[in-house]
Amino acid sequence: MRTLPVAIAIGAALLAGTARLDAQPQPSTAGASSSPVTLAELERLALQANPTLRGAEAQVEASRNRARQAGAWPNPTMGYSGEEIKLGDIDRRGEHGFFVEQSILLGGKRRLNRAVFDRATERAEAELETQRFRVSSSTRAAFYRALAAERRVEVQERLAALVSEAVAITAQLFNVGAADRPDFLESEIEAQRVQLELNAARNRVFAMRQQLAAVVGQADIAGRALVGTLEDALPELEREATLQRYLEQSPQLRAARAALAGTQASTAVARRETFPDLFVRGGAAYNRERGEDSGRPIGWEGGLEVGVSVPLFDRNRYGVAAARAEETRATADVQRLELSLRAQVAMAFSEYLTALRESESYRREIIPKAEEAYRLYLARYREMAAAYPQVLIAQRTLFELSSRYLERVEEAWRGAMEIQGFLAGEGLASPGEVDAERRERGGRQ
């Protein structure tokens, strides 16, 4: 067979490349411009620089200040008072003075009003914790996506080198009449196809590094080498324990329960709305009217008024009904979120476990069998018992399975990071965007 030298060259290079595929990689240096960075350092930087966290922290501070403001006393009213004032001719009679009026809220209204905003603060704190999970899990997922993209470039570069060598050898054999033109054309087509895939893989590395830098919040991260490997032990998560952890510790549920507590506090405020409030008014006036005995102005006189509001016409009946309706809605929302989390955890676990088991199967069984099949085809080809296209197909199958293995490892890492991060969402999404996406996703399930 005239193509025997081509297959031998491909086989020798392929087996050497396959041996390197399972080797532990060194820290990635693709596009590196400064010192390498570890995943732990990336998480630390992300928690410091990600802009969504600053926004969530500002929301917590705003809620705390609203709570403080809600417990403040109402401002007093101060003014001028005058009586028996005559216009026109000069009249020395009349009273001129000042007064101070203060409303005193009774029935614990100030405390109840503050409780409403305290619950809002608890919700903001839960949303801040959720945002931290978003940033951390998104950073981890982006880190392993970037590692997988770089490993995919390594695989494509090895395949491109093999195919380029095959093209060169086929061209030499074709020039001396030892190879057919179809073999030469097929080798050129294969080389062009592999080069396109290599370019796509390199472009993906650039995109994945930019995504990682965006989540971290520092642009220079895109040019730093990543210290890590896809072969790190994937976490083995247990379904029921994870679900129980979600129901007990989920920051999304904490936020929903805080919202429910806020509606309950609003209901308490609405019920106390018509509770009588006390008002006190006091002041002093200078009486210019002269006394009958002394003939001199009577002088300063004090006054005091005390009263209460009477809930005669407005008993806030509909306000209480509206508050109870909001409380019912918030209760239903907590129940909805619990059910939604159960469904989301089930779906996420399904995808995670599928990717995890497939990656293990590819690494332990499928890829070794594909490599053995290639070796057997190559040996049979040497013995002239197999055609060259069979060797080429076996070679391509081996590399396609290697790429598939990288995809499944990447998906397993991403799934594990998302599950451990309470399925909080993307690290650059605002809480409102994530909530809307979660409601839409829940509606499709």
- What are the tokens at 126? 């839960």
Model pLDDT for residues 150-171, shown as the tens digit of each residue? 999 998 888 888 777 767 766 7
Instruction: For the chain, give the percent of residues with pLDDT over 90.
Output: 52
* Statement: residue 188 has pLDDT above 90: no
pLDDT of residue 95: 82
pLDDT of residue 417: 92
The CATH number that domain 4-444 falls under is 1.20.1600.10
pLDDT of residue 436: 53
- DSSP-assigned letters across all residues of 257-322: HHHHHHHHHHHHHHHHTTS--EEEEEEEEEEEEEPTTT-SEEEEEEEEEEEE---SS---HHHHHH
* Statement: residue 24 has pLDDT above 80: no
Task: Please check whether residue 215 is in contact with residue 427, taking contact to mean a CB–CB distance below 8 angstroms.
Answer: yes
Q: How many CA atoms lie within 13 A of 386 on its CB side?
A: 18
| Measured distance CA(202)–CA(206) in Å, rounded | 7
Phi, psi of 299 (to 5 degrees): 95, -155
pLDDT of residue 209: 95
What's the whole-model pTM score? 0.76
Lowest mean pLDDT, pick from 21-25, 120-124, 204-208: 21-25
pLDDT of residue 392: 74
Contacts for 179-184: CB closer than 8 Å, 24+ residues apart: 179/2, 179/3, 179/6, 180/2, 183/2, 183/3, 183/6, 183/388
* Statement: residue 252 has pLDDT above 80: yes
Task: Please check whether residue 134 is in contact with residue 434, taking contact to mean a CB–CB distance below 8 angstroms.
Answer: yes
Model pLDDT for residues 262-320, shown as the tens digit of each residue? 999 999 999 998 899 999 999 998 888 777 777 788 888 888 999 998 888 888 999 99
Model pLDDT for residues 105-157, shown as the tens digit of each residue? 988 999 999 999 999 999 999 999 999 999 999 999 999 999 999 999 998 88
| Measured distance CA(64)–CA(58) in Å, rounded | 10
Predicted confidence band at 445 (pLDDT cuts at 50, 70, 90)? very low
CA 395 to chain centre: 41
Angle at 22 between CA 350 and CA 381, to 5 degrees: 105
Mean pLDDT of the 212-229 span: 92
